[in-house]
Amino acid sequence: MEHLIHSRVKNIEISGIRRFFNMVANRPDLISLTIGQPDFPTPEHIKEAGKEAITDNFTTYTHNAGFLELRQAACDFILEKYGLYYDSDEVIVTVGASQALDITFRTILEEETEVILPGPVYPGYEPLIQLCGAKPVYVDTRSNGFRLSAELIAPYLNERTRCIVLPYPSNPTGVTLSEQELQKIAELVKGRPIWIVSDEIYSELVYNGEHHSIAKWLREQTIVINGLSKSHSMTGWRIGFVFAPSFVTKHMIKVHQYSVSCTSSVSQKAALAALTAGKNDAETMRSQYKERMEYAYHRLIKMGLEVEKPSGAFYLFPSIAAFGQSSFDFALDVVNKAGVALVPGSAFSEYGEGYVRLSYAYSLDTLKKGLDRLERYLKEKQ
């Protein structure tokens, strides 16, 4: 019966990050610097709010879009933090940013339309786009410090282009776009029949200045994706948000309703605590990530590796092109000979080939041990 599985589903693959992790996870004494989730526990007051929700029997379905107080808190949060104005009927609480992306693409993508993505990029977009019968079109950003720009986008625009994904701060590269860069993209796209899907899941983890959203200049054409997985160390609670004008959310809510009815009520109560009493919870984590980033960045530079200095998220993306191996072979060799796991860059599209991703969502102690091992390995390689 397997031949009756939909060809689009058969044609997509498990993410390269997971595949590599599953392959090497059982190796004894391995230091893994692969995982893209915070290593801090969820703040105590958020956990308490979740427990209270259970005790108070807040355990039934909520409004499909999330209960009103939470939606209002989400709107207040992004107004205060990023100057974005949305009404409570312009936000949907989703099952992580992942489901926000799924319902977004399913709401806006017709078959055969094209979606522009910067390469290298987070591997979560391509399969969702393909499941809609649409086509991912990669723009090589390597010569521009991994930053998508109006100049790079322009040659790819045609009558099939329906959407541009702006995933900044970026997983896997850690780079962000400046206000000017975002404004130029907004000017290029304004008035064309093209959506911007702005994945801002790392917006609270910016190390040099403020986070800016393109929605400030292009509200009517932008769908903003965000969530609490990274900012509040809540990956397992599965809370995401999608913000868009009401003429978008009124359609998107139908896809959401028939997909999940609503997000977990218990997680929603925890999310309310995160966005109100915990609206500055990310600060302490951010300062620790920054310290780790500075440490790991300088260690990689000292090893002679070429790497962009990140301005957000918790990843470094050094080039390993000088070693003449594929990123997969290099990463496997590092696992086998040095006992350190890094993600092969090829997991982030063909434009990630020649790089590896190092996550610094690990303690300084673990980072030091891992980087010591990597340094010894590279010395022996020379």
Contact positions toward ligand PLP, by CB under 6 A?
36, 96-98, 122, 124, 167, 171, 199, 201, 227, 229, 235, 240
- Smallest distance, ligand PLP to C-beta of residue 244, A: 16
Sign of CA dihedral 102, 282, 173, 218: positive
- Smallest distance, ligand PLP to C-beta of residue 359, A: 10
- Smallest distance, ligand PLP to C-beta of residue 1, A: 31
Here the tokens at position 373 are 């091992």
**Helix 265-275 × helix 44-55 angle, to 10°:** 140
Report how far residue 164's alpha carbon sits from residue 157's, in angstroms, rounded to the nearest whole number: 10
Here the tokens at position 233 are 């160390």
Report how far residue 69's alpha carbon sits from residue 76's, in angstroms, rounded to the nearest whole number: 10
Q: Which is nearer to ligand PLP, 263 or 327 (CB)?
A: 263
**Helix 364-381 × helix 327-338 angle, to 10°:** 110
Element (H, E) at 226: strand 222-227
Q: Which is nearer to ligand PLP, 42 or 229 (CB)?
A: 229
User: In the chain, what is the straight-line distance between the N-terminal and C-terminal CA atoms, in Å?
Assistant: 52
Using only C-alpha atoms, the chain has a radius of gyration, in whole angstroms, of 21
Report how far residue 307's alpha carbon sits from residue 136's, in angstroms, rounded to the nearest whole number: 27
Q: Which is nearer to ligand PLP, 226 or 288 (CB)?
A: 226
- Smallest distance, ligand PLP to C-beta of residue 124, A: 6
Q: Which is nearer to ligand PLP, 239 or 338 (CB)?
A: 239
- Smallest distance, ligand PLP to C-beta of residue 229, A: 4
Report how far residue 16's alpha carbon sits from residue 124's, in angstroms, rounded to the nearest whole number: 10
Reported as half-sphere exposure (CB side, CA atoms, 13 A), residue 293 has a value of 24
Q: Which is nearer to ligand PLP, 101 or 338 (CB)?
A: 101
Torsion angle, CA of 149/142/99/248, rounded to 10 degrees? 10
Report how far residue 194's alpha carbon sits from residue 212's, in angstroms, rounded to the nearest whole number: 20
Q: Which is nearer to ligand PLP, 17 or 340 (CB)?
A: 17
Choose among 94, 120, 118, 119: nearest CA to 107: 94
**Which residue lies nearest ligand PLP, judged by its C-beta?**
96
Report how far residue 371's alpha carbon sits from residue 382's, in angstroms, rounded to the nearest whole number: 17
- Smallest distance, ligand PLP to C-beta of residue 267, A: 11
DSSP 8-state secondary structure symbol assigned to residue 243 = E
- Smallest distance, ligand PLP to C-beta of residue 129, A: 14
- Smallest distance, ligand PLP to C-beta of residue 228, A: 7
Here the tokens at position 163 are 């959407």
DSSP 8-state secondary structure symbol assigned to residue 259 = H
**Chain center to CA of 161:** 22
- Smallest distance, ligand PLP to C-beta of residue 121, A: 8
- Smallest distance, ligand PLP to C-beta of residue 242, A: 11
Choose among 98, 79, 91, 78: nearest CA to 37: 98
